[in-house]
Amino acid sequence: MDVRARHDDDQDSLRAALSTRRAWLGAAGALGATLAVGAHAEPSGHHQHHAMGARDLIAAAGHCVAEADVCDQHCLAMFGAGDTSLVECAARVRELAALCTAAGKLAAQSSPRLNALLDVCAESCKACEAECRKHEAKHDVCKTCADACVKMVEAIAAHKAMA
């Protein structure tokens, strides 16, 4: 088998593995977000309004982290193949995953410091999206990650508008 055919087979295998992993991570993130929010007593009135916004934010954060993890693994696979064109993408996606994880946890806790973190998180999401967009035509995982970043920025804006 020539090198190109082996590379194509490796890429097909990687896509299948990433697709399966993305589905599992998305389901796990959604379940975790549901459990985190569902663990609190059901609020009413004004507090119910904020809880609904927190649920949306937690779900968006979980989805963003799941897609960032898939993108990060793709970057590592590319590095292993000798392609370092995604170095900046990997850096942005790792930063984003850390901040979105923290945002989801602070939202679940109704932390008074959440809004301050959300400003930094939105910046990171925008930087990650910009970097991923550079590679989306060649790497589907980059497009999916960039789209998740957009959804997170939208969820942050919606959450802050309710505050």
52 touches 154 (CB < 8 A): no
Least confident range from 26-35, 78-87, 124-133: namely: 26-35
Q: Does residue 156 surpass a pLDDT of 70? A: yes
Biggest CA-to-CA distance, the chain: 66
Q: What is the pLDDT of residue 53?
A: 63
Q: What is the pLDDT of residues 60-81, one digit of tens each?
A: 999 999 999 999 999 999 999 9
> Residues 2-17: pLDDT tens digits?
545 555 555 555 555 5
User: What is the per-residue pLDDT for 163?
Assistant: 74
d(CA 155, CA 59): 9
DSSP for 19-50 reads HHHHHHHHHHHHHHHHHHHHTSPPP-HHHHHH
Q: What is the pLDDT of residues 17-74, one digit of tens each?
A: 555 555 444 544 544 544 444 444 444 444 444 455 699 999 999 999 999 999 999 9
Tell me which residue has tokens 């064109």. 85
pLDDT, tens digit, for every residue of 91-109?
A: 999 999 999 999 999 999 9
Of 96-105, 114-123, 154-163, where does mean pLDDT reach its minimum? 154-163
| Number of domains, the chain | 1
Domain range for 84 is 3-162
Give the span between the Cα atoms of 20 and 17, in whole angstroms: 5
Q: Where residue 72 sits, what CATH number does that domain have?
A: 1.20.1270.360
Inter-residue contact 31 to 63 (CB < 8 Å): no
- Rounded to 5 degrees, what are φ and ψ at 135? -115, 0
Query: What does the alpha-carbon distance between residue 158 and residue 151 come to, in Å, rounded to a whole number?
Result: 10
| Burial class of residue 116 (count of CB atoms within 10 Å of its CB; 0-12, 13-18, 19+) | exposed
Q: What is the pLDDT of residue 69?
A: 97
